[in-house]
Structure 1
Amino acid sequence: MAVRNTGAGLRPSTATRARLNAVAAAGELVAGELIWITNESRMVQATSTTEWREIAHAGQIPTVPEFATPAEAVAGVATGKIMDPANVALAIAALAGGTTVVLNEFTQSGTFTKDADDALYFVVTVDGGGGGGGGGGGRNGGSITNANGNGGKGGGANGASGASGSKDTGGNGGGGGSGSAVLGIIPAAWLPATVNVIVGAGGAGGAGGAKASGGGSAGTAGTAGGASSFSDALLVLKTVTGAGSGMVGGTIDLPFLPQIGVGFGGNGGAGGGNYTDGSRGTDGAGGAVFVWRLKA
């Protein structure tokens, strides 16, 4: 039997070595097993069924790492302990579940009141949509050189131009442009206790042009929608607008909004036919202000 030791200064005591040698002589060691000698704070390893060697004493053995308990992980208190993946997932779920989001929706002007536990606001302001332009009036037969009325322009910066009248009908009114939607964030600390909220009204549709024997009159342009506002402290993330196209009013492509249609532009009115007044453009949709509160 061969016995391997790491050196005289690290060898187990004579009595311990005698016991290990007896076990090795009987071929009862298990290759690779570690044997901790408690009374000497030493560790030996069996290299075969009949051989052993010392691999470390107390001064060489690293401290066994201590892991945080589930309760410590959820509490989020610094302990210096290791977080295993299960506890990390548990802590994330617990802390994320503690965040509350509350939506306040304004479709009319009013006052927003800050709560003591508010931490952050995600705000969307939507202006009122522009009214659609009125359709041009139609003429009563006669010379084709007597043109029918042109359609009125849609309201708002992105309103569509009205169509030109022809010898057959008045021109259709242009669709109103949508109101601008502004997305932004505001830390709660930046706001006073109350904030004035302004919700813009939709623009009025333009009147249709009147019929006339010699040629109908042009439709009236729609008016722009009113502006919505929440606070000058808003950090703007994005601005969204929709342009009128032909007779169709502009839309706002923000599918997460609680109300679909806010701020949409009105449709243009149809042009009048033979000796018929043009149709009035439809009014733009009113705006809104949405405030998502993130609670601390």
Structure 2
Amino acid sequence: MAALLSWLQLRSQGGAFVLRMEDVDTGRSRQHFADSIVHDLTWLGLDWDEGPDAGGHAGPYVQSQRLELYREALDKLQAQGLLYSCYCSRADILAAPSAPHGLSAEGPLYPGTCRHLSQSEQQLKARTKTPSLRFKVKERFPGFQDDILGPIEINGYASSDFVVRRADGIYAYQLAVVVDDAAMGITDVFRGADLLDSTPRQLMLYEALELTPPRFAHFPLLLDEKGNRLAKRTQGLSIRELRQRGVSPRRIVGWLAWITGLIGSLQELSPQELIPLFSMEHVPKEPVMLTPDVLNLL
């Protein structure tokens, strides 16, 4: 759904669509996953102006081939004194009595345990553990305007220092996407509301790196009838599974447009036919509840 809505947003404005493979976490990324994404999007009728197969002025469009750019950004943040070494594990953070309540997209909110370690304390910890690098979040940071959800205030979910390079040396999502979006001239980011708490953090990085941020729009999540996030792994809703069941791409595209309010009744349509029908005003602001009857219409 994210790819379709993002594609429609850009195409309806005459914009260029960029496909980027975010495989910076090399331990979890596999080439066949990337190949599957390209195949699924093409099968649905989506295309792109720049990408791994299409080329473009800002390539490469594969994050694992852009590591030098992330290192340069990290050096710039380090030179400003905006980073510090963190020796805490996830278990340490969860067990900390001063830990803020709640979870972010990256996991538990960080209480700042290592932010004020002395040099001798850091040296002692470094004997037994390789640290991650965390970005120092400001005490106060302005909110932002979301193109779907409206004004967003910055509060607890974005107030804790976050990782920009993991202990295993892998650059964090937050840093990589900021560097890439700026380098690729991205003007509009359209993604799910599960990434809403990433946006303030990315805006902080844009400011620190003196880069121009894009506009952000976050669409609500799809939920089952019990209010739980719809899991494609358990609902048989992956493009591959639907294709194997014989569901046509026009059926899938029309169904997605219908459940998100772009069209008033279920129809079979191509992405191109939806372009003149797309409006940000039609995208729902609240989570979309999908009952078994609605799911069975696929």
Please state which structure has a larger fraction of its residues in strand: 1
* TM-score of the two chains, using structure 2 as the length reference: 0.18
Q: Which one scores higher on RCO, CA 8 angstroms, separation ≥ 6?
A: 1
Q: Rg bigger for which structure?
A: 1
Scaled by the length of structure 1, what TM-score is found? 0.18
